Amino acid sequence: MEANKKKLSLAFWIFLGLLLGIVAGFAFMGAPHIAVTYIKPFGTLFLNLIKMIVVPIVLFSIIQGVISLEDIRKVGYIGGRTVVFYLITTMFAISLGLLFANVLNVGGSANFATQGLEYQAAAAPSFIDTIINIFPSNAFAPMVNASMLQIIVIAIFFGFGIILAGEKGKAAADFADSMTEVSMQIMGLIIKLSPIGVFALICPVVAENGLAVLGSLARLIAITYLVYIIHAVFVYSTMVGTVGKLGPVKFFKGIMPAMVLAFSSASSVGTLPLNINCCEKLGARKEVASFVLPLGATINMDGTAIYQGVSAMFIAQVFGVELTIAQMITIVLTATLASIGTAGVPGSGMIMLAMVLESVGLPLEGIALIAGVDRILDMGRTVVNITGDAACTMCVDAVQKKKEARA
């Protein structure tokens, strides 16, 4: 009862911080430099604290999670289910985005001057480079650079090594367990600052963008957010209800603090510690949450996939290009594979969109049309991304518990 009370209290204060940040942002619209100069630094400080603890949490909690599974094959089972879950939901998400953008004519009524638009797409890594880059040549560089996929690989191998070392690996196992607990306690202290951090992050965004940036892009924003909500509410509710055996209301109530932080920070990795905390309170075992969530924060991009679908359709309609069914299927496949191929790459959302547009011959210059509202779209897609991570965690944990009960 006491735990529920604290959880509700944290959600309330974080939400209050969000509302106050929005109100303060509108108040500073006439002088946005004040919000940027004096308020934004506190948000940056909060994000820095979170980023500081993310690497230790991911490293030690995954090592501990692998050890606690006690069987290398179990890690394979859980990892396999997780990747399949992420790929299926990502494909469904972009299909949903394309469907709604097409039916609601997302860009048909927009009137833009498309001459003179320029956009320089960042280079996306090749498939071979992606595979090679997952495996680090240095055990410490990924931790310095916060390269999550590489950190996950390091943690899994060290976990395997500790299991195979048997009795001689017990000291290392105890150290990983101890450091996981220490990292979680530090995370708890940082999470208490969430309401202030959320306030300081959202205020300058509202102050700088206000209502002017919406203008003729309001339809794009509205349809994108509509699909975000439909996917999160209906798809995740169905999955956590049928597979995870968890009531949708309880699920969303439990992860609300992480969703609010994701919205204000637009960072899946930055929300990771709080998401782990929320999933564990909902009943997910630590070893599952600490493995599935870091992987999801890196490669699961349902919200980003929706953004790809709606934006691609928007750009096609603005430039007067009618996409065929074959082109739409190409967009679905490209965006799904790109969600893994660009994992951990800075600005991955824009790189993914560039890859999607190139795959069907749409002009990259169209990205310049939506660049001004990308931050607004990014906040929503991050919420969907981390909600999908949490839904996957609850489902994988439930399936694993059922499998163990039958054994």
Q: What is the pLDDT of residues 231-243, one digit of tens each?
A: 999 999 999 999 9
Pairwise CA distance, residues 395 & 59, whole Å:
23
Indicate the range of 276-285, 345-354, 359-368 predicted with least confidence: 345-354
Give me the pLDDT at residue 231, please. 94
pLDDT tens digits along 46-68 = 878 877 887 888 788 778 877 87
pLDDT tens by residue, 71-116? 777 777 777 888 888 888 888 899 999 999 999 888 766 555 444 4
Confidence of residue 226 (pLDDT cuts 50, 70, 90): very high
DSSP symbols for 87-150: HHHHHHHHHHHHHHHHHTTTTTT-----TT----PPPPPPHHHHHHHHS-SSSSHHHHHT-HHH
Decide: 302 and 89 in contact? Cβ < 8 Å. yes
Instruction: Tell me if 238 sits within 8 A of 332, measured CB to CB.
Output: no
Report pLDDT for 100.
92
Q: How many domains does the chain have?
A: 1
What is the number of other CB atoms lying within 10 angstroms of the CB of residue 345? Answer: 17
Comparing 11 with 1, which gets the higher pLDDT?
11
220/78: higher pLDDT: 220
Q: What is the pLDDT of residues 16-42, one digit of tens each?
A: 887 898 899 889 988 888 988 999 899
Query: What's 196's domain CATH number?
Result: 1.10.3860.10
Cα torsion at 163, 169, 175, 181 (round to 10°)? Answer: 20
CA distances 355 to 126, 133, 245, 360, Å, are 11, 19, 37, 9
pLDDT band of residue 215 (cuts 50, 70, 90) is low
Mean pLDDT of the chain: 81
For helices 248-265 and 2-27, give the axis angle rounded to 10 degrees. Answer: 40
Residue 399 lies in domain: 2-406
Percent of the chain predicted with pLDDT > 90: 19
- Grade residue 407 by pLDDT with cuts at 50, 70 and 90: low
Instruction: Record the pTM.
Output: 0.74
CA distance 217 to 372: 9
pLDDT at 133 over 70: yes
pLDDT band at 394 (very low <50, low <70, confident <90, very high): very high
Given this model, what pLDDT does residue 118 score? 46
Q: Which of 210-214, 215-219, 283-287, 368-372 has the lowest mean pLDDT?
A: 210-214
Query: Which pLDDT score is estimated for 7?
Result: 46
Work out the average pLDDT over 326-332.
Answer: 86
Place of tokens 């999670």: 65
Q: Which amino acid is at 147?
A: S
pLDDT at 2 over 50: no
